[in-house]
Amino acid sequence: MKKIVIHSAGGYEKLKLEEHPDLKCQVNQVKVKVQYSGINYADICIRWGIYESAKQYVGWPITPGFEFSGIVEEVGAEVSKFKVGDAVFGVTLFDAYANQVVVEEGFLFKKPEALSFAQAACFPAVFLTAYHGLFQNFVFRKKSKVLIHSAAGGVGSALVQLAKWHDCEVTGVIGSSHKKDHLLSLGCDHIIDKSQEDLWQRAKQISSQGYDVILDANGVKTLKESFNHLRPTGKLVVYGFHTMLPKSGSGSGRLNFLSLVWNYLKTPRFNPIDLTSANKSIMAFNLSFLFEHREILDEAMVTLLALVEQGVIKGHPISEFDAEHVAQAHELIESGNSVGKIAIKWN
C-alpha cells in the first residue's frame, strides 16, 4: 500500500509518499480501497506538530487524514452492513492519507448517489463539524440571525447550508471576491467581502441589533469583535484559530512560532462574570476528541445523509490533487484562496 507519512514537524518537505505493507482486516473491520482522501486545515496543524489530539493519540511518525471514500475490498467475519464492492465513505482518527484504510463498520457509510467519490471523501469532517457546532452544542432556534466567517470554505459552506435549512438569516464572510458566486449558489442572504468593504461596519448595517449566532474559526483577528457583535443571549461558536497560525512567509509551509506566541498573547480572554453581565455565551470544540462518542457522530450522520438524499444539502466543489502532489494541496488550503474542499486522488 501507499500512504503519506510525516516523521517530524515542519514544512511541505515533511510529507513523504511511502510504500508500506498492506493492511490486515480484523473480524469487526472493513478494508477499503481508497479513491479519495479529504484534506482539512487540521492536517496542516498536524504537520506543524501543534494538533493536540495527534500528539495525544499518535505522536511521530503519523499519517494525517480524517476522511476518505472508496470501494470495500474486504470485510471481517462479524461485519453485517457492508459487502465487497460497496461504494463507501467514512471517518478515521488519522491514517486517511492512504490508498488503503481499515475501520470498524460503525465509522463507514454507503456513498449516496448524489455525491461523487471526491465529494463523499470531503463530506464527513466539515458537515459533522457544522452539525455539531449548530445543533449539538446549544438550542439553535429557527429564524436566528447567523454570521459565518470563512463562509466559502469547507466548514463554512456546510454551515451556510445547515443554517438555511433551519430557516435562518445567514450572513457569510469571505476574503476574496471570487468566492461570492459559490455563496450565492448556497442561498446565503448577505455576503460581506472583506477585500472590498469593512467587515464590522457592514455587519452592523445588516443587523444593527447584533447576531444570535456567530461561528468563528479565525482566532485572534476576529474573536473579540465577533463577541462584541452578538446580541443579548447570543452564542459565539469557536472551532478553530486559523489566524493565530502564521506561516514563515518563505513558501516552505513552516509555522512562524514567534508570531504564534505573539498572537497567543493577543488572544482575548473572557471572564465568566462579564459573560453573565453581557448575557452572551462562548462555546468551543474539537471534533477529533468526539470519536469516542459514537452516539453523537451517529446522530449527526443519520440526519446529514437524509438531507443529502432529500436534496436539502449538497457536496462541495472539490480541488483535486494526485497523492504525489499533496504538498501543493497543503499550500492551497493554507493560502485561503480555495473554495469548497480539497482532496487527494489515489490512482
C-alpha–C-alpha distance, residues 14 and 7, integer Å:
7
CB atoms near residue 291 (< 10 Å): 17
Residue-by-residue DSSP string for 151-204: TTSHHHHHHHHHHHHTT-EEEEEESSGGGHHHHHHTT-SEEEETTTS-HHHHHH
Percent above pLDDT 70 for the chain: 99
- CA dist 103 and 186 (Å) reads 33
Does residue 291 have a pLDDT over 80?
no
Query: Counting beta carbons within 10 angstroms of the beta carbon of residue 216, is it exposed (0 to 12), middle (13 to 18) or buried (19 or more)?
Result: buried
Residues 211 and 225 sit within 8 Å (Cβ to Cβ) = no
Residues 6 or more apart from 343 whose CB is under 8 A from it? 36, 37, 38, 39, 118, 121, 122, 318, 319, 320, 321, 329
Predicted pLDDT of residue 254: 85
Collapse the DSSP code of 97 into the 3-class scheme (helix H, G, I; strand E, B; otherwise coil) and give the result. Answer: coil
Mean pLDDT of 76-100: 97
Per-residue pLDDT at 249: 62
- Across the range 114-124, mean pLDDT stands at 98
The full DSSP string for 275-307 is: HHHHT-EEEE--GGGGTT-HHHHHHHHHHHHHH
Average pLDDT, rounded, for the chain: 94
pLDDT at residue 248 above 70?
no
pLDDT the model gives residue 211: 98
**In the numeric block, which cell numbers belong to residue 91?**
471517518
Task: Supply the pLDDT for residue 323.
Answer: 97
pTM of the full structure: 0.93
Closest CA to 121 of 71, 179, 61: 71
The predicted-structure confidence for 32-85, as pLDDT tens digits, reads as follows: 999 999 999 999 999 999 999 999 999 999 999 999 999 999 999 999 999 999
C-alpha cell at 346: 489515489
Q: Domains of the chain, with CATH numbers?
A: 2-124+293-345 (3.90.180.10), 138-284 (3.40.50.720)
% of residues, the chain, pLDDT over 90: 84
- 250: confidence class by pLDDT, cuts 50, 70, 90: low
Worst-scoring range by mean pLDDT, 13-27, 146-160, 215-229, 245-259?
Answer: 245-259
- Strands (DSSP E) found in the chain: 2-5, 16-19, 29-39, 67-75, 87-91, 100-104, 108-110, 145-148, 169-174, 190-193, 211-216, 230-238, 281-284, 318-322, 341-345
Q: Over the stretch 135-191, which tens digit does the pLDDT of each residue have?
A: 999 999 999 999 999 999 999 999 999 999 999 999 999 999 999 999 999 999 999
